[in-house]
């Protein structure tokens, strides 16, 4: 390879890299989300008195029916998460029981040999050699799974209770009450 061709390869590689970087940047810059943001903020020379109002979805500026719809959707999602976590806990508990059963059957195929001034040994037949470590491994791993899925289930149920409480409060909050800022009765 002559030195002149190396420089042209380097220029071609740089050109490809620049093209590879500029093309996605142009796509991102012309995306609809950025266009919406630009139209929401207005043109660059807009009046100084225009302001962007940014509110959270659960604030009072949103209609009550829309807020309830979002809460119901979140509650359905929380119910699904809770159901999946409960199924995981049941599955890992069943696996733990199976592991303990296999380890118990394997342990029954072994006998303990006591020796003086040494550690005790287990002498197992073929079934005991296979079932005892297999059952112990399954029981140990599923115990970790039970602990993990139990924690996840507790968190999911807490989230579900919080959503149910928010829904109850939104229903009860619509009754007639005294509004201090307005100085009158409001619904």
Residue 187 is encoded by which pair of tokens? 């619904």
The SS3 call for residue 124 is strand
- Report how far Cα 108 is from the mean position of its chain's Cα atoms: 43
Asked whether the predicted pLDDT for residue 7 surpasses 70, the reply is no
> Which of 91, 98, 94, 93 has its CA nearest to residue 134?
98
| Greatest mean pLDDT range, 46-55, 70-79, 150-159 | 150-159
Poorest-pLDDT segment among 9-13, 96-100, 109-113, 175-179: 9-13
Within a 10 A sphere around the Cβ of 134, how many other Cβ atoms? 14
Mean pLDDT across the stretch 11-26?
Answer: 63
Phi first, then psi: what are they for 50, rounded to 5°? -80, 140
Band the pLDDT of 22: cuts 50, 70, 90.
Answer: low
Mean pLDDT across the stretch 51-73?
Answer: 64
Report the C-alpha gap between 98 and 47 in whole angstroms: 72
Mean pLDDT across the stretch 75-79?
Answer: 92
Report the C-alpha gap between 54 and 41 in whole angstroms: 12
Indicate whether this model's pTM tops 0.85: no
Poorest-pLDDT segment among 44-53, 112-121, 170-179: 44-53
Question: pLDDT above 90 covers what percent of the chain?
Answer: 34
Asked whether the predicted pLDDT for residue 93 surpasses 90, the reply is yes
Asked whether the predicted pLDDT for residue 55 surpasses 60, the reply is no
Band the pLDDT of 162: cuts 50, 70, 90.
Answer: very high
């Amino acid at each position: 390879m002559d030195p002149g061709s190396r420089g042209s390869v380097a220029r071609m590689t740089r050109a490809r890299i620049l093209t590879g970087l500029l093309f996605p940047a142009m796509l991102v810059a012309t995306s609809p989300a950025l266009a919406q943001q630009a139209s929401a903020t207005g043109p660059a020379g807009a009046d100084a008195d225009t302001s962007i109002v940014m509110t959270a979805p659960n604030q009072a500026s949103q209609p009550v029916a829309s807020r309830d719809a979002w809460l119901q959707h979140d509650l359905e999602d929380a119910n699904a998460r809770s159901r999946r976590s409960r199924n995981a806990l049941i599955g890992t508990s069943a696996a733990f029981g199976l592991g303990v059963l296999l380890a118990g059957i394997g342990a029954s195929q072994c006998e303990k040999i006591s020796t003086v001034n040494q550690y005790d040994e287990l002498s197992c037949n073929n079934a005991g050699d296979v079932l005892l470590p297999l059952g112990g491994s399954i029981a140990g791993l599923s115990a970790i799974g039970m602990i993990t899925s139990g924690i996840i289930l507790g968190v999911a149920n807490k989230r579900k209770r919080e959503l149910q409480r928010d829904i109850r409060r939104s229903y009860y909050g619509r009754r007639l009450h005294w509004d201090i800022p307005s100085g009158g009765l409001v619904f």
